[in-house]
Structure 1
């Protein structure tokens, strides 16, 4: 790279050309057949886009009309498409429009509102909302096998449950007291791995309260025993000393301890959550708060990727996940359970 083309020291990644690897002008030129080819390669990466039967696994499949395939095995004869059994099962949007929806979503660094997406790609609000929620659910699955290493910061952030105070001061009550709360306020517990020559990972879990059992379980299941856990002075993190090496910083005295101990990276993630809550969505549905936070954690971890890589990463993840049990048929009454960790 020539000296004049080098990224200035300290320049934000979003100001560099590396972040603009796929623009909306590029997508405007994409034909439906090209988008369909992307779906095939992301669905069947093992065979470079050549379809194989999802039931018996044979490569002996022939093409039928309307982009359908049929297994040639006499005992199987399964008919399938590139989206069968995936997040996009029973889709009605064109392949190009679905790729553009993913691009518009990942290109918004603080999240994408369904109402805005509906205007950008020309679909009903319901269609945009369900599509975005299916992508969030698929992204949330990445947490299952996540194990954080090195130095891991842990903290919790409360959201939701706001009650407008009374107009007159004498009519107001202390909302910090449990008897005056509406019990709709939830805590997003986050574990943020500091970068180890690669982008750090962020594990999230939505809980009722910032308590020791939830913190213990999260560290036990998703943090390496050789890692160092860094927490603030909250009492729910006291018992973590029995699992990992534990370092603390007392925020009531300083944001950073004398030896440099801090939780700045997980606090930085929470600032992204706050900006998404206030500036993009204006509120999170607490029923789906877990999926919103999991998606924002993915945005935090992929913030140094170009938008082409981000787009195809989400497409690949969505095509690798099975059809949603909770969102397929959502507007016909199918609803997910409460997405709150209960031990």
Structure 2
């Protein structure tokens, strides 16, 4: 018996809702895991290797500084500095930062001490797995014989360039990415180097200690926030200026941190480029734009900036005037097509 038009539309609506719920549930689970995994963690220290004792102030040490990033926009960044004994080739100090969207102001013309401080003060969180791989590559490539040769022939620019190209090749191959890499080497005095380590280990006063403890507690309770973007929908969207706390809007996630990168990967696996998120706050700015704060998951928040006149996409249930909005999802169409095919096959078998 042919299915009535009303029943057919009800079936479509139920199917669409179940598909949307499944996608939201999967994405919410991924965001919840990220929140529990990433929010409470403290920053990863940049120092990987520290001197086991004081440096000889009358000796010279090999200093190496390197900055690398993927050739694609929004990819991984990294920087490391190291000190090595020129005679033994042993690495005495290694500090590095690896992640997404950080170190925008890094300049290899600065001293290794200044770059170490820059990495320590970098606000963006490091990517733990990326860091582990880069450390392994550094230790394998810049072994004692290599460091000894570099220190012995510090003026040989051709040899330094070969070292740069060799390390870059290992980096590309190990991470299956294409990087740009800048690398410099120079000899530095043990006196200046030891002064840096002395300053970093100098005990703080009780007042400074209390302030430091307060900062530590602030880091522990700080929530994770990422940069978001809106999806403009001139036809069925809602104006930014009409949005209120509690309204749902669709947002995209911009690269800029390890958490943002992980969320984008979870979205890609779920087959979606947007997240429905409730609005927590809407604040006009002095430039005529509107700053919107949304909650992506418990402990993970998103911030975005848009013009007041923008009409942004909202979930179908949040915009009753949207006609056909529930069929905007390609995944919903696919499920409906499969269901229709199964019904047709069943009809043929019965008859």
TM-score normalised by the chain length of structure 1: 0.24
TM-score normalised by the chain length of structure 2: 0.23
